[in-house]
Amino acid sequence: MLFSIIQLYLSFEYQTSHMSLAVATSLLLILILIEVGFLVWVKKERIPFHEIVFNLNSGHVLLWVFRGVEVVVFRSINIHFDLGWLDSFSSVGVWIFTFVAWDFCFYWLHRLHHSYKSLWAVHVVHHEGEHFSLSLGVRNSWYSSLTSIPFFLLLAIVGVPVEVFIGIGSIHYFIQFYNHNRVVNNSGWLEYIMITPSHHRVHHGYNAPYLDKNFGGTLVIWDKLFGTFQKKLKDTPIKYGTTDHLKSDNALVASNVPIYKLFGIQLPSLKSRKFQLSGAIEFSAGILLFCFLLLYIAKEHVWPTTQLSYLFSLIFLGTLACGGLTEGKLWGVVSWVVLSIAGLVFLLSLPSPEIFLVVITALWGVHAVGTTLALLRLQKGQSLK
């Protein structure tokens, strides 16, 4: 849900500059990296880096576009169908009302995404993550913003201003992002009034009695009111993930196969991996790609359409190639190398490229060479056996 914190601002220039959005997104990425470092060096945990990379890149630049669609639809409904029921409220009253009403809408959004197969086919991507950590908070289907649209339109109709919807949504989504952290076990008195990390861990369990519990986003009252609240039991460990987990780190596969299955479309079975790259190579690939996304956010209303479209294509195809890397597929390595060259061509086409683009493009080239050499070493080692 990392992008939900940032992307709701997409269509509104009066909120903040895109450079500020890029900085904010990078700070949230830093929180994820800090947690990973803490888990590795302090808690001595073994991290599934391939899953962290997928979490970071699951929605990515395409989700950014669809988030913009969500905001545009809300704004359009608010302009044409506003009943004005909140006109007599003070500004503080509007914010308080929206804070509670937004959370109520999200509860039902979330619950119904678990209740209907058509919605679950979108939401399942988030639940397939088996490593509960902050990075899981950014794991989403490409289409999650599109299926969220109907659930918030009532707020537009009763008269919630667009800027208030954006601001309140940002607060709620940040809380939800925080609730995916792996470090905080008990939040004291907050456990009684809010959804906390311990409550949300329960929600991600697929075993009884945790399955389909704790749908709330911020306030715990909705789960208690509608009978879906469940505490973590000391003698019953939580099993994270789903019973029919799709074993793929490719965002294209993860976001679309559940929908194909919904329509009964038979797909060939996924081939096993050919090799296993190091966690450092996989992780750094994901971070590099995320840096290009930061550049896209910063330049969205600055660069001309041609340059922006090229960057969008580079990032989108890079997401697929990165999935191929982590799945141990040869096409992933080949694609990653080709795209690094395409990135260099893009850099050279710009009259005066910024230093950030120069650095990340150079790093992509170095990474592509290092990945190729690592693969050659692996193949040589296998041939000697």
Q: What sign does the dihedral 355-30-135-49 (CA atoms) show?
A: positive
CATH number for the domain running over 279-379: 1.20.1270
Integer Cα distance of 301 and 308 in angstroms: 9
pTM for the model stands at 0.90
> Residue 64 corresponds to which tokens in the numbers above?
């950014």
pLDDT value of residue 383: 57
Over its length of 385 residues, how does the chain's per-residue pLDDT go in tens digits? 444 444 444 444 434 445 566 777 788 899 999 999 999 999 999 999 999 999 999 877 888 889 889 999 999 999 999 999 999 999 999 999 999 999 999 999 999 999 999 999 999 999 999 999 999 999 999 999 999 999 999 999 999 999 999 889 989 999 999 999 999 999 999 999 999 999 999 999 999 999 999 999 999 999 999 999 999 999 999 999 998 877 788 899 999 999 999 988 877 676 777 888 999 999 999 999 999 999 998 888 889 999 999 999 999 999 999 999 999 999 999 999 999 999 999 999 999 999 999 999 999 999 999 999 999 998 877 654 4
> Residue 345 corresponds to which tokens in the numbers above?
């061509």
Integer Cα distance of 308 and 292 in angstroms: 12
> Residue 332 corresponds to which tokens in the numbers above?
């992933």
Considering only the C-alpha atoms of the chain, give the largest distance between any 2 of them, rounded to a whole number of Å. Answer: 79
3 state DSSP class of 140: coil
Report yes or no: 286 and 53 within 8 Å, Cβ to Cβ. yes
Integer Cα distance of 258 and 104 in angstroms: 27
Residues in Cβ contact with 232 at an 8 Å cutoff, skipping those fewer than 6 apart: 198, 199, 201, 202, 238
Integer Cα distance of 114 and 333 in angstroms: 36
Q: What angle do CA 254, 104, 77 make, to 5 degrees?
A: 80
For residue 293, give the nearest of 31, 18, 49, 34 by alpha carbon.
18
Report yes or no: 286 and 320 within 8 Å, Cβ to Cβ. no
Report yes or no: 195 and 172 within 8 Å, Cβ to Cβ. no
pLDDT value of residue 218: 98
Pure H helices in the chain: 2-7, 18-41, 49-57, 60-81, 91-115, 117-127, 144-158, 162-178, 197-203, 221-225, 251-262, 279-299, 305-326, 330-349, 355-384
For residue 169, give the nearest of 179, 155, 158 by alpha carbon.
155
Which residue, chain included where needed, has tokens 């990165």? Answer: 322
- Domain coordinates of the chain in residue numbers? 2-225, 279-379
Integer Cα distance of 300 and 187 in angstroms: 39
Question: DSSP per residue over 238-260, as a string?
Answer: --BS-TT------HHHHHHHHHH
